C-alpha cells in the first residue's frame, strides 16, 4: 500500500483559470504539486501578488483554486483507496496483519479502549516519602539518612587515605629512578615506570569507584524498602512495634543550639538581605540576598555536627516534592562530564551522600549527553538541508565545520539540569555553559551567559523553583584582571538584567514571590562586598519601613 501511496503522491497538476479583462480573455496556468502542503488562502494571496491580478477576480479565483485542490485531492484519495483494496484482494497484503494493525491503532488513539496507566515505582515512593517526611517519622528518616551519609563518608575517607599512600609511595619510587637517570637508567625506564604508576592509580580508583557504587545501590534499596514498610505500618494503628520503630535516640544527635548558630555564622560571614517590590500596577514582593560564600556551600553537608546536618536537611527534605524548590547556577565549560574544575568538586559532593530519589550524577550526565547528541543530529541535518538548498559562501562552511567539531559539546548560554535529593540546601542544579569571554569587561545584556540566566529564570517559573542562587559576577573565582571597576560594572549589568527578567516573570507565572540569592566569591574584600550591597537598593526598589507615632 505504501508503494501505491507513493505513486499518487508528488504528482504535478496544472491549475487553469480563465477570466476577462475588458474585451481580452486571459488565462492563468499554475503548476501545483499534490498533495498541496500550503494553505489555499496563502497560495491564493501569493498568486494575486506575484501575477499582479486585478482585485475583482480575487473572490472567484479563491473559490476556483479551493475547489480544484479539493477535487484533485479527493480523486487522489479515491485512487489510493482503490489501489489498496486491489492489493488486499490480490493477496499482496496480508489481511490479518492489516486488521491487527488497524485494531492496534484504534485502541491506542481511542481513550475508551486505552489501558489505564500503571503507577510507577518512583511515583509511589515519592508519595510515600512525602507523607512520612510530614509526619512524626520525619526525624527518623533524617537520622537514617545521616547514618548512611556517615557510612559513605568513612568509605570515601578510606579511599582518600589509600590513594594518598599510593601516590606517596610512587613519588618515592620516581625520585629514586630520577636519581639514577643517565647512569643506569634511561628515559624509556622513566616512561615505563610512569605508565605503571598511572595504571596502578587507575586500578585503585576503579576498585573504589565500584565499591562506592555498590554501597550506594545497597543503601538506596534498603532505604526505599524501609520507607515503604514504615508507611504500611503507620496505616496499621494496632502495630505495637511502631513506636519503637520511629523512636529517636536523643543522645545520638544532641548538640547545643548555640553551637549550631556558630557554625551557621562561620559559614555565612557576610550577608545582606533585601525585600523588593516589582511590577507596574500589580506589584509582587521578592526577597534578595547578597552573600559572600562558596557556591558549593549550599550543597555540602556539615560533617562536624550531626544535629546541624539534620536541621539543615529538614527544610530541603520537606520541600522535595513541593512547589517551593531550590536551585543554583553552576558555571561550567562546554564538556558534559565531571572530570575537572567545579564540575568535579560538585560531583564529589554529590557522591558523599546517597541519593535515594534520583539517579546518580553520572547517570544523569549520560542522559544529558544522549539528549545533546540527538539535538545536535537534528540541527545538523536541518543545517545541511539549508546549505544544500542554496549557494553558500565559505564563511558558512567554516561554521558548519566548527559545529561538527564540537558535536557533543554544549554552546555558551546553553545549560543542562540535574536533580538531587542528597544535597544540603538545593534540589536542582543548572549547569550553565560559559567561555573565557565572561572574564572580559565588555559583555552586554545580549551575551550568551546573560541570556542563559534569563532562560534559567524562565525554567524556574515553569517548574516551581522559588529560590535560585546566582553567581553575581558570572565567575566562581577571582583573578587579577577583575579589578574594582570591573566588579562594579559586572554587578550592575547582572543586577539590571535580573531585574528585567524578574519583571518578565510576572507574565510567566502570574506574579509569585521568589527569593534570588546573589553570590560573590569568598576571596572578595569586605569593602567590595559592601559597595555591591549599596548598589543593589539603587537598582531595585527596596521596601521602606514606616514608623508610626501617635499625637498627644
Same domain, 356 and 432: yes
Across the chain, mean pLDDT equals 82
Domain enclosing residue 39, as ranges = 9-111
| pLDDT computed for residue 420 by the predictor | 93
Please give the tally of structural domains in the chain: 3
| 516 close to 329: Cβ distance less than 8 angstroms | no
| pLDDT computed for residue 498 by the predictor | 92
Q: Which residues of 24-57 are buried (b: 16+ CB within 10 A; e: fewer)?
A: eeeebebebebebeeeeeebbeebbeeeebeeeb
d(CA 541, CA 237): 54
Sign of the alpha-carbon torsion through 339, 343, 344, 348? negative
| 13 close to 31: Cβ distance less than 8 angstroms | yes
Residue 260, in any domain of the structure:
no
> pLDDT under 70 in the chain at which residues?
1-10, 111-119, 121, 237-269, 280, 303-312, 388-408, 543-548, 550-552
Q: Which of 430, 449, 451 is nearest to 438 (CA)?
A: 449
Q: Find cell 486491489 and name the residue.
A: 86
Same domain, 286 and 159: no
| pLDDT computed for residue 427 by the predictor | 93
Burial class (CB in 10 A: 0-12, 13-18, 19+), 523: exposed
Collapsing DSSP to helix, strand or coil, 2 comes out as helix
Collapsing DSSP to helix, strand or coil, 33 comes out as strand
Same domain, 241 and 284: no
- For residue range 317-369, what is the model confidence (pLDDT) as tens digits? 888 898 899 999 999 998 888 788 899 999 989 988 899 999 999 999 999 99
Same domain, 314 and 438: yes
Same domain, 129 and 93: no
Same domain, 171 and 199: yes
Burial class (CB in 10 A: 0-12, 13-18, 19+), 426: buried
What are the C-alpha distances in Å from 303 to residues 161, 256, 308, 349, 462?
Answer: 18, 16, 9, 12, 35
pTM flag (> 0.75): no
What are the C-alpha distances in Å from 109 to residues 101, 103, 141, 142, 400?
Answer: 12, 10, 43, 45, 41
Q: Which of 290, 316, 311 is nearest to 533 (CA)?
A: 290
Residue 439, in any domain of the structure:
yes
Whether omega for the bond prior to residue 387 falls within 30 degrees of 0, making it cis, is no
What H or E segment, with its residue span, contains residue 292? strand 284-292
Burial class (CB in 10 A: 0-12, 13-18, 19+), 65: buried
Give the Cβ contact number of residue 302 at 10 Å.
Answer: 19
Q: Which of 318, 367, 383, 314 is nearest to 143 (CA)?
A: 314
Same domain, 225 and 302: no
- For residue range 279-325, what is the model confidence (pLDDT) as tens digits? 767 778 889 999 999 999 888 877 654 454 556 678 888 888 988 99
Summary count for the chain: helices (H), strands (E): 16, 9
> Domain of 469: which CATH number?
3.40.220.10
Same domain, 200 and 311: no
Same domain, 47 and 188: no
| pLDDT computed for residue 377 by the predictor | 85
Q: Residues 6 or more apart from 450 whose CB is under 8 A from it?
A: 443, 444, 493, 494, 497
Whether omega for the bond prior to residue 35 falls within 30 degrees of 0, making it cis, is yes
Same domain, 88 and 147: no
What are the C-alpha distances in Å from 371 to residues 104, 144, 247, 336, 385?
Answer: 29, 35, 45, 11, 21
Supply φ then ψ for residue 273, to 5 degrees: -120, 145
Same domain, 465 and 343: yes
Residue 258, in any domain of the structure:
no
Residue 31, in any domain of the structure:
yes
Residue 552, in any domain of the structure:
no
Q: Find cell 517551593 and name the residue.
A: 324
Nine cell digits for residue 238:
494496632
Paired with 416 in beta bridges are 431
Residue 41, in any domain of the structure:
yes
Amino acid at each position: 500500500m505504501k508503494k501505491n501511496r507513493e505513486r499518487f503522491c508528488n504528482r504535478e497538476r496544472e491549475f487553469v483559470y480563465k477570466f476577462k479583462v475588458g474585451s481580452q480573455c486571459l488565462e492563468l496556468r499554475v503548476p501545483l504539486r499534490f498533495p498541496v502542503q500550503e494553505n489555499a488562502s496563502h497560495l491564493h494571496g501569493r498568486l494575486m501578488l506575484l501575477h499582479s491580478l486585478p482585485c475583482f477576480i480575487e473572490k472567484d479565483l479563491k473559490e476556483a483554486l479551493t475547489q480544484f485542490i479539493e477535487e484533485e485531492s479527493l480523486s487522489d484519495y479515491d485512487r489510493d483507496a482503490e489501489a489498496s483494496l486491489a492489493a488486499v484482494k490480490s493477496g499482496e497484503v496480508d489481511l490479518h496483519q492489516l486488521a491487527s494493525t488497524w485494531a492496534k491503532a484504534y485502541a491506542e488513539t481511542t481513550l475508551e479502549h486505552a489501558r489505564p496507566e500503571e503507577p510507577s515505582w518512583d511515583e509511589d515512593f515519592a508519595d510515600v516519602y512525602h507523607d512520612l517526611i510530614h509526619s512524626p517519622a520525619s526525624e527518623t528518616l533524617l537520622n537514617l539518612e545521616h547514618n548512611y551519609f556517615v557510612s559513605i563518608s568513612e568509605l570515601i575517607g578510606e579511599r582518600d587515605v589509600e590513594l594518598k599512600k599510593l601516590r606517596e609511595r610512587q613519588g618515592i619510587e620516581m625520585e629514586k629512578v630520577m636519581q639514577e637517570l643517565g647512569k643506569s637508567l634511561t628515559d624509556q625506564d622513566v616512561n615505563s615506570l610512569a605508565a605503571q604508576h598511572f595504571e596502578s592509580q587507575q586500578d585503585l580508583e576503579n576498585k573504589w569507584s565500584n565499591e562506592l557504587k555498590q554501597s550506594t545501590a545497597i543503601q538506596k534499596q534498603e532505604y526505599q524498602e524501609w520507607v515503604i514498610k514504615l508507611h504500611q505500618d503507620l496505616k496499621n494503628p494496632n502495630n505495637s512495634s511502631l513506636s519503637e520503630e520511629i523512636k529517636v535516640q536523643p543522645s545520638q544527635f544532641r548538640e547545643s543550639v548555640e553551637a549550631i548558630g556558630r557554625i551557621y555564622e562561620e559559614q555565612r560571614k557576610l550577608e545582606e538581605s533585601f525585600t523588593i517590590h516589582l511590577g507596574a500596577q500589580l506589584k509582587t514582593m521578592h526577597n534578595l540576598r547578597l552573600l559572600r560564600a562558596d557556591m558549593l556551600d549550599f550543597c555540602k553537608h556539615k560533617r562536624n555536627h550531626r544535629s546541624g546536618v539534620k536541621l539543615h536537611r529538614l527544610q530541603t527534605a520537606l520541600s522535595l516534592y513541593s512547589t517551593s524548590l531550590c536551585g543554583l547556577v553552576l558555571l561550567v565549560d562546554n564538556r558534559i562530564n565531571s572530570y575537572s574544575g567545579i564540575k568535579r568538586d560538585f560531583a564529589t559532593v554529590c557522591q558523599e551522600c546517597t541519593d535515594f530519589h534520583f539517579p546518580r550524577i553520572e547517570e544523569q550526565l549520560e542522559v544529558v549527553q544522549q539528549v545533546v547528541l540527538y539535538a545536535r543530529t537534528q540541527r545538523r541535518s536541518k543545517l545541511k538541508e539549508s546549505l544544500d538548498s542554496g549557494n553558500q559562501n565559505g564563511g558558512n562552511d567554516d561554521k558548519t565545520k566548527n559545529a561538527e567539531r564540537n558535536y557533543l559539546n554544549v554552546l555558551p548560554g546553553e545549560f543542562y539540569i540535574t536533580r538531587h535529593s542528597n544535597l544540603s540546601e538545593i534540589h536542582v542544579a543548572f549547569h550553565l555553559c560559559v567561555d573565557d569571554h565572561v572574564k572580559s569587561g565588555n559583555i552586554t545584556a545580549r551575551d550568551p551567559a546573560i541570556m542563559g540566566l534569563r532562560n534559567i529564570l524562565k525554567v524556574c517559573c515553569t517548574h516551581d523553583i522559588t529560590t535560585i542562587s546566582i553567581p553575581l559576577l558570572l565567575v566562581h573565582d577571582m583573578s587579577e584582571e577583575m579589578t574594582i571597576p570591573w566588579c562594579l560594572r559586572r554587578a550592575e549589568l547582572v543586577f539590571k538584567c535580573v531585574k528585567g527578567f524578574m519583571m518578565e516573570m510576572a507574565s510567566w507565572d502570574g506574579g509569585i514571590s521568589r527569593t534570588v540569592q546573589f553570590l560573590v566569591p569568598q576571596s572578595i574584600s569586605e569593602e567590595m562586598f559592601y559597595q555591591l550591597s549599596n548598589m543593589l537598593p539603587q537598582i531595585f526598589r527596596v521596601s521602606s519601613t514606616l514608623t508610626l507615632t501617635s499625637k498627644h
